[in-house]
Structure 1
Amino acid sequence: MIKPGLLLFGLFGLCLGHTVHLGRTCPEVEPYANLSLDKVLGAWYVMYKFDTDNSCVRWNLTRTEHPDHIKLTETRQLSVLDTFGIDHTNTISANIEIANPEVPAKGRIRWPTSLSGQADFIIFDTDYDTYMAVFECNRAGLIHRRSVTILSRTQQIDDMFVRRIRRLLSNVDVPHEALDNISHTACNGDGVRNYHVDSELFGILPSIGDKQELQRRISTGVEDYDITELEIIGDGIEHAGTFTGNLKEP
């Protein structure tokens, strides 16, 4: 039997996979020009990602009922559970909102385990059939967090694509030493146990898209709160110090 503390520790490991930097300004990574979203849908193997020791990471991109939304389902094996020999997989679902249909390679993603709300989600390189590269960046208070993911349609990727992506990152001053190679050699398939996270912060925050409930929870009891700190909670902040919710009791 899996101890709850061990499982919780493993699930919070989902919040890793990024590097932390001072300042609120994200690097200017250019979205892939004239991206065809339909061509990047489907299954991908995550081959490299910033600062992670998890394995067997896969993405599946699918359309939703909303024309400007994409669903990202990530499946992985958590290193902490692998260490204890637990046959498992972990699945997490996130929503990508394409704010400007004319720039489909740039969206906003909200991971259910994120404490700091939405992040930029930028597809900056792909050939559709072989590889894809994604840059993510989100702002929380006086810091921002970056993540780069390199994906392949198969369980292998030619090193020339990895070198190309590293070069593109260098050109926009994004250090890439934190890119960790992800193994796909000892995967459990669907696993005996599958842990699926699809509600925000394990149910502490409301489900993706429930903005009215999120604003209600934020507004309750925070009349004297410093609104410049509220951005770390989520969607209620658009720019530093600009709160779009209600600061009074409902």
Structure 2
Amino acid sequence: MKILLLTAAVVASALGHTLHLGRTCPDLLPFPNLSVDKVLGRWYVMHKFDTDNTCLVWNITLGQLPDTLLVTETRQLSFLDVFGVDHTHTVTANIEIPNLEVPARMRVRWPTSALTGKADFIVFDTDYDSYMAVFECDRAGLLHRRSATILSRTNTIDEMFVRRLLETADVTHTALSTISHETCRHSGQHNWHVDEELFGLLPGVDEAEVKRRVSDGVLDYDITQVEIIGEGVTAEDSGFRGSLKRPPAV
């Protein structure tokens, strides 16, 4: 069971992103004057780049350190569903707000991103009550990964609205996957948390302990000499699959 879970966690960490040449992330405009308190609480992940996991839910709470948030993502891993494992999988990340004058431009550290470290975490649109759109980008070596996440306060969303939202922000949607919430478990027979250690598998750890471990902080990895291979690389003439255009050649 531990081997299955470890394999699923490794696969899941590679999904949800597209891979691109260069270290320059797209410069999306952050949502102006974001009210952080209004984005707290439960969000259903309705769309995300390149993933086949189901029942993704975010719960955003205040962190224990000033100017920080915690995002706890619960999901069902498709790899384990194939084997009929009754489970839920939870990962908690730490979000920092480096500049309080631009609160929508944040930095996130997912515990499954050991090679890439912290990533840009930009809230680029929201009305607080029904939807929120987030763009993430991290860098490793000569590459960077991109991901967009569309969230809803309920488990439904207008698909045409999502299309217009992404087009307005100049984020095309060829790599956007739809997240199913049809067969979700409130709690599976097996419930796992991933903590700040690389793929640390800790069955039975309660929420307070997860928050404590994440809030203790994690090291910033020196990623300047690291290269990664992940989702998004294709053998087609275009070179890379992604929802955003490859940066022009210098």
TM-score category, normalised to shorter length: 0.7 to 0.9
| 3-state SS, counterpart of residue 5 of structure 1 | helix
Verify the 8 A CA contact 2:9 2:199 in the aligned structure 1.
no
Q: How far apart, CA to CA, are the structure 2 residues paired with 1:105 and 1:193?
A: 35
Verify the 8 A CA contact 2:136 2:147 in the aligned structure 1.
yes
Deviations 1:12-44 (A, max 9, x none): 123110000000100110100011000000000
| 3-state SS, counterpart of residue 80 of structure 1 | helix
Q: Which has the higher contact order (CA 8 A, sep 6+)?
A: 2
Task: Give how far 1:210 is off.
Answer: 4.0
Deviations 1:40-83 (A, max 9, x none): 00000000000000000000000022221000000000000111
TM-score by length of 1: 0.80
Verify the 8 A CA contact 1:117 1:231 in the aligned structure 2.
no
Consecutive unaligned residues of structure 1, counting only runs of 5 or more, are 219-226, 233-250
Where do 4+ consecutive residues of structure 1 move more than 4 Å?
Answer: none
| Paired residues, number | 214
- Between stretches 153-162 and 141-150, larger displacement belongs to 153-162
Match of 2:81 in 1: 82
Residues 1:138 and 2:146 aligned together: no
Verify the 8 A CA contact 1:141 1:229 in the aligned structure 2.
yes
Consecutive unaligned residues of structure 2, counting only runs of 5 or more, are 202-212, 229-250
Assess, with a 3 A threshold, how the Cα gap between structure 1 residues 38 and 231 changes in structure 2: closer, same or farther: farther
Verify the 8 A CA contact 2:142 2:227 in the aligned structure 1.
no
Match of 1:248 in 2: none
Verify the 8 A CA contact 1:47 1:182 in the aligned structure 2.
yes
Match of 2:50 in 1: 51
Task: Give how far 1:11 is off.
Answer: 1.0
**Alignment root-mean-square deviation, CA:** 2.1
Letter in 1 for 2:9: L
Q: How far apart, CA to CA, are the structure 2 residues paired with 1:20 and 1:42?
A: 30
Deviations 1:201-248 (A, max 9, x none): 1359x966144xx78xx8xxxxxxxx840698xxxxxxxxxxxxxxxx
Structure label with greater radius of gyration: 1
Verify the 8 A CA contact 2:196 2:218 in the aligned structure 1.
no
Q: How far apart, CA to CA, are the structure 1 residues paired with 2:75 and 2:4?
A: 16
